[in-house]
Amino acid sequence: MNIILASASPRRRELLEQIGLPFSVRPSAGEPEAAGLAPEAAVCSVALAKAENVAADASPEDLILAADTLVYLDGDPLGKPTGRDEAAAMLRRLSGREHEVYTGVALMGGGRKLVRCEKTVVRFRPLTEDMIRRYVDTGEPMDKAGAYGIQGIGCLLVESIHGDYNNVVGLPLGLLNSMLESFGVHIL
């Protein structure tokens, strides 16, 4: 069985390499949207759409893995910032507060579909305007949901985390492992 990661995310690739899972990469074309849905439903819907997109051109023996991660604050999704000003505005909103990170994970193969969601709560330290400016100057926030990367220098913004750290990076490995096992793929 060939596992195909339907994502161009370097963080997801690194996480899969970390656990020794053999896979190939075939990013999904386009970015599906799920506006108006609850957080769990939104990330699961997008993850499934990505998996279906790649599965359309895959072999029936392939196992397609797709994921979607979003940051939510006060029920509002915080996607990837479009520029420096938006990144700074997101970080101001997150400063000193808790927010939720949701990742929807979809597996498709052998005529089966399995979609699950993981939620992690992250609390930011209070941030000064100077800290926000310096962090935005690193460029790290620009391609990350919520305008921060917990696996990089953005870890300095985080006061606490309740849940799966890897979920905040972009792929909840514990959840993925149990999903893979239901498809007969055993990492351990």
Predicted confidence at residue 33, as pLDDT, reads 77
Residue 102: inside a domain: yes
Give residue 135's pLDDT. 98
Catalytic, 68? Answer yes
Q: Is residue 187 part of a domain?
A: no
Q: What is the pLDDT of residues 5-55, one digit of tens each?
A: 999 999 999 999 999 999 999 998 877 777 789 999 999 999 999 999 999
**Annotated catalytic residue within 57, 68, 74, 137:** 68
Domain for residue 165, yes or no? yes
Assign residue 16 the CATH number of its domain. Answer: 3.90.950.10
* Strand spans (E) along the chain: 3-5, 24-25, 63-73, 76-78, 98-109, 112-124, 158-162
- 188 occurs within a structural domain: no
Name the most confidently modeled range: 28-42, 50-64, 159-173: 159-173
55 contact partners, CB below 8 Å, separation of at least 6: 62, 64, 108, 109
Angle of the 84-94 helix axis to the 129-138 helix axis, nearest 10 = 130
Position 82 in a domain: yes
Comparing 158 with 79, the larger pLDDT belongs to: 158
Which residue do the tokens 């100057």 mark? 137
Chain centre to alpha carbon of residue 141? 14
Does a structural domain hold residue 27?
Answer: yes
3-state secondary structure of 10: helix
Q: What is the pLDDT of residue 146?
A: 95
What is the domain range of residue 76? 3-182
Name the band, by pLDDT with cuts 50, 70 and 90, for residue 176: very high
The answer to whether the pTM exceeds 0.85 is yes
Domain count for the chain: 1
Higher pLDDT: 29 or 68? It is: 68
Average pLDDT over residues 51-64: 93
Domain assignment present for 23? yes
